[in-house]
Amino acid sequence: MATLASRLAAAREAKGISQSDLARLIGIKPQAIQAIEAGRVEKPRNIVAIAKALDIEAGFLLTGDETTNTDLNEVPLVGYVGAGATAHFYASADEGLGTAPAPEGATASTVAVEIRGESLGALFEHWLVYYDEVRSPVTHDMIGRLCVVGLVDDRVLVKKIQRSKTPGLYHLLSNTEAPIFDAEVVWAARVKSMMPR
Q: What per-residue confidence (pLDDT) applies to 120? A: 67
Q: Which residues pair with 162 in a beta bridge?
A: 171
CA distance 190 to 197: 19
pTM reported for the whole predicted model:
0.61
CA distance 43 to 58: 11
Q: Which of 3-7, 32-36, 152-156, 186-190 has the lowest mean pLDDT?
A: 152-156
Confidence of residue 146 (pLDDT cuts 50, 70, 90): very high
Confidence of residue 27 (pLDDT cuts 50, 70, 90): confident
With 0-12 / 13-18 / 19 or more C-beta atoms within 10 angstroms meaning exposed / middle / buried, residue 38 is: exposed
pLDDT tens, residue by residue, 99-131? 889 888 887 778 888 887 765 667 788 899 999
For the chain, domains (ranges, CATH) are 4-63 (1.10.260.40), 74-195 (2.10.109.10)
CA distance 121 to 138: 25
Q: Which residues of 79-91 are buried (b: 16+ CB within 10 A; e: fewer)?
A: bbbbbbbebbbbe
Q: What per-residue confidence (pLDDT) applies to 157? A: 84
CA distance 40 to 53: 21
Q: Which of 34-38, 57-61, 155-159 has the lowest mean pLDDT?
A: 57-61
Q: Which residues pair with 86 in a beta bridge?
A: none
> Regarding predicted confidence, which is higher, 186 or 48?
186
| CB-CB contact of 36 with 8 (8 Å) | yes
Average pLDDT over residues 31-43: 87
